[in-house]
Structure 1
Amino acid sequence: MSTTVLVVDDNEGIRYTLKEICRFAGWRVVEAANGMEAITFFDIMKPDLILLDYHLPNGDGVSTTKSIRKRNKHIPIIILTADARQEVADSSMEAGATDFAIKPIKAPDLIARLRLNLKLSKLTADHHTAYVNKGIKQDTLMTIKNYLFAQQKAVTIDELKSALPIAYQTIHRYLTYLESKGEVEVIAQYGSKGRPKNRYRLI
């Protein structure tokens, strides 16, 4: 089992359930009961993904996320909570979480969410050096890739611009870069008149 998931929750029963779900998916699990333990185990075990409860003793989900982000900018951190308030989700994402889910979450949904985050993390790791050397900002690139990944069909630059707070020219530059890396397919859509409109799909 090459993938390690750090499960952080002060409730032993919830930790056990999350551990069994992760093991069913074929992942190794490391457990922590609070924020301080999470940081210690993160430093020692170097997990591939963190499943983190929002309400924790000795460092809640937000402060723990911030501490981990100082150590690693890219590891997926998924925060789980029974608190469905928008401000809880906002504070989690602002702290650096990559995803947020409301408890209870069904096993198939959780596994799918973890697989998606692991896949996106691998894409980031594989090309991180190239992004820096090319002057491409990783956060912007991952925002565009995350959006493309979530779409069921190819989209235009205008559709990307409407959904994301990124300028048209910037989106075009990043899509051109992704196309050169073989990560994006460009599909020309011909209308009844005028030039064809390009649509983009993550490969």
Structure 2
Amino acid sequence: MTEMTAQTVRILAIDDNPDILYTLEQICRFQGWIPLMANGYDEAVEVIRSQTPDLVLVDYHMPGRDGISTVSELRKILPEVPIVVLTIEESDGVVQRFAEAGADDYALKPIKAIDLISRIKVHLQLAAKRVSLQASGTEDHGGRAAEAGENQADTGEKNHRQDVFREKGISEVTLTKLEKALKGEAGFRDIDEIETATTIKKKTLYRYLQFLLKEGRIEQDYSYGEMGRPRTLYRWKNEH
């Protein structure tokens, strides 16, 4: 991803509903972004072959290849490009599948322009910062330059976390409370047990757990009951 201005940002929207595509196109044009439209995965691949998007919006419910499968395949083609899933569902299981497929975020339908624009902007900013940090790292050859690069990376990481905190509505106080609870138990626990230990509501708790998973600070496993339905388990990652 190269340095971007609003006039050069390319947003690829994938949805089988022409009305949704029209709405997304108008939102992009309102922001000065370049809209790239596709009604499914195959058409999206054709678009990508001609111009690489800076961010991708993917509908969850599509005939044929659904949003999860589409995200998984797009992640192979576009490993560094932010992907946001559009969905009417917000269940833990569905959101978990988004994350496992490689999505960076999700936005609820019906589409709220202000919310979607905010999410897009944050992910574009984070992507630009990653590129900037990577570029600065390749220019560091001497000891002082390397140290400066490390300091810049540390600052960039802090800024990255602050951006995510603002976007996700994450409180440092709540996050610290969750971290202490997870560090205090060596074994895996499900979300119900963590809710009891922290008194953090489940809907909020799930968002924080997803953040920590993305940060690589916790790990997850699955437990299958008699009915075969898996429970997702979490524990603090042992760094040693």
Offset of residue 69 of structure 1? 1.3
Asked if residue 166 in structure 1 is aligned to residue 172 in structure 2, the reply is no
Structure-2-length-normalised TM-score: 0.58
Aligned-partner Cα distance in 2 for 1:14–1:154: 33
CA separation of 1:117/1:40 partners in 2, compared to 1, >3 Å: closer, same or farther?
same
- What residue identity is the alignment partner of 2:60? Y
The aligned residue for residue 131 of structure 2 is: 125
The aligned residue for residue 61 of structure 2 is: 55
**Do the aligned residues in 2 keep the contact of 1:54 with 1:62 (CA within 8 Å)?**
yes
Offset of residue 114 of structure 1? 0.5
The aligned residue for residue 107 of structure 2 is: 101
Asked if residue 116 in structure 1 is aligned to residue 167 in structure 2, the reply is no
Aligned-partner Cα distance in 1 for 2:137–2:127: 14
Selected match of 2:163 from 149, 165, 180: 149
Structure-1-length-normalised TM-score: 0.68
How high is the sequence identity, in percent, across the aligned residues? 34
Q: Extract unaligned runs of 5+ from structure 2.
A: 1-6, 141-145, 180-207, 219-240
CA separation of 1:166/1:160 partners in 2, compared to 1, >3 Å: closer, same or farther?
farther
Selected match of 1:35 from 11, 33, 41: 41
Structure 2 residue matching 1:120: 3-state secondary structure: helix
CA separation of 1:6/1:159 partners in 2, compared to 1, >3 Å: closer, same or farther?
same
Aligned-partner Cα distance in 1 for 2:92–2:217: 24
Any runs of at least 4 consecutive aligned residues in structure 1 with deviations exceeding 4 A, and if so which? 129-134, 141-146, 152-156
Offset of residue 130 of structure 1? 5.2
Aligned-partner Cα distance in 2 for 1:111–1:77: 14
Offset of residue 83 of structure 1? 2.1
Give the aligned length: 161
Q: Extract unaligned runs of 5+ from structure 1.
A: 168-203
CA separation of 1:160/1:30 partners in 2, compared to 1, >3 Å: closer, same or farther?
farther
Further displaced range: 22-31 or 124-133: 124-133
Structure 1 residue matching 2:106: 3-state secondary structure: strand
Aligned-partner Cα distance in 1 for 2:157–2:72: 20
Cα displacement string for residues 47-85 of structure 1 (whole angstroms, at most 9, x for unaligned residues): 111011011234221111111211221101000011222
Aligned-partner Cα distance in 1 for 2:57–2:171: 31
CA RMSD of aligned residues (A): 3.2
Aligned-partner Cα distance in 1 for 2:74–2:134: 19
- What residue identity is the alignment partner of 1:31? M
**Do the aligned residues in 2 keep the contact of 1:36 with 1:59 (CA within 8 Å)?**
no
The aligned residue for residue 74 of structure 1 is: 80
